[in-house]
A and B are shown apart, each in its own frame.
Chain A
């Protein structure tokens, strides 16, 4: 059984009318664009409804639309992208929740899928998007004292010099070198 995406689109638009921004399809992949306020309710519906049953969260990531040519089509700078998969119906759906730069916050879906725990930590680490309701939001890939959010479009590729800032080994002067051990 496959998921009837036309019916799903109609249902979602009807139930969460003010949250849905758009529904797009590209290369036969559907994407639901949402506002971020009630994303947990929409996701709960997608996970639990019998016609969809998106029981598995494949991936959580984000995208910074600062330099995208179609950036003015979308209301905010960041979008958190969820890839949902239904084992029962063997169907995939991409969901995007748009997050502004200030305040850079969105609700966490960790209560629905535990896979989101580390996924959202990585999004916070790389983009600086805070997830309200996340049990343990801290950096995961970068060191804890790191400043800056690397995957943002205004962060330089080569960094800001952290990679060159380690203590060096100093040369022993000629006189101080002992004989052979």
Chain B
């Protein structure tokens, strides 16, 4: 009897595990992935201006339901693609994390616009400078706001990702992170050396640290 050779078929992603009825499972997996990528139900987490462009993408001219995203029901339990569109403030971040946790696996995330990807125009005390610090993001869309074609392109990239079998590999650890948290200051005290630049992500390095380039030129 011939032994069925057990190697990873082409197009399989990093999650592929050898063993068992390899060929049959990959065909079923491919079918499931085909189903998933052609019926992505978005969870539109729209907060600001990008949400209006997302609404324009869902409307007649740039119809997103061509890609299977017909159902926009704002229910995380019934969706698999979260589109974070708009700026996320520190008051909204716990809400975002909770809604993201309520989405069942497998799920993917699009960070739409400059504010969700990196804080955008607003480098202030109250906006999270990029949701990817805290939530796994699969596709980033630059733009302020990005054109609807960019959102369509991002959805197509997610479809390519699903075809390759890539899923998110980060979890939220409830033992170490309770869900009812509130943001707390990391830096205390009144005016710092440069009151404008205080904020733990964009603080300038202290001046007495020499960089490699400076050492070389001396």
Of the 9-residue stretches A43-51, A94-102, A164-172, which lies at the interface with chain B?
A164-172
Q: Main SS of the interface on chain A?
A: loop
Q: Does A143 contact B (CB under 8 A)?
A: yes
Asked whether A167 lies within 8 Å of B106 as measured between CB atoms, the reply is no
Contact status of A165 and B170, CB under 8 A, knowing A143-B91, A158-B198, A177-B15: no
Q: Does B197 contact A (CB under 8 A)?
A: yes
A143–B128 Cα gap in the complex (Å)? 14
Contact status of A160 and B134, CB under 8 A, knowing A154-B190, A169-B170, A181-B105: no
A156–B193 Cα gap in the complex (Å)? 10
B45 to chain A, nearest CB (A): 15
**Interface residues on chain A, number (Cβ under 8 Å):** 32
Q: Does A103 contact B (CB under 8 A)?
A: no
A139–B188 Cα gap in the complex (Å)? 20
A165–B13 Cα gap in the complex (Å)? 34
Q: Main SS of the interface on chain B?
A: loop
Asked whether B91 lies within 8 Å of A160 as measured between CB atoms, the reply is no
B47 to chain A, nearest CB (A): 15
Chain B residues within 8 Å of A158, by CB: 123-125, 196-199, 201-202
Asked whether B181 lies within 8 Å of A166 as measured between CB atoms, the reply is yes
Q: Does B60 contact A (CB under 8 A)?
A: no
Proximity bits, A146-177, B CB within 8 Å = 1, else 0: 11101000111111111111111111100001
> B28 — nearest CB in chain A belongs to which residue?
A180
Task: State which residues 126-148 of A face B: CB under 8 Å.
Answer: 142-148
A136–B94 Cα gap in the complex (Å)? 25
> Which one, B25, B128, B170, B177, contacts A172 given CB within 8 A?
B170
Asked whether B184 lies within 8 Å of A162 as measured between CB atoms, the reply is yes
A159–B173 Cα gap in the complex (Å)? 27
Q: Does A179 contact B (CB under 8 A)?
A: yes
Pairs A–B under 8 Å by Cβ, sample size 11:
A142-B126, A146-B183, A157-B198, A158-B124, A158-B198, A159-B125, A159-B199, A160-B125, A164-B200, A166-B128, A178-B17
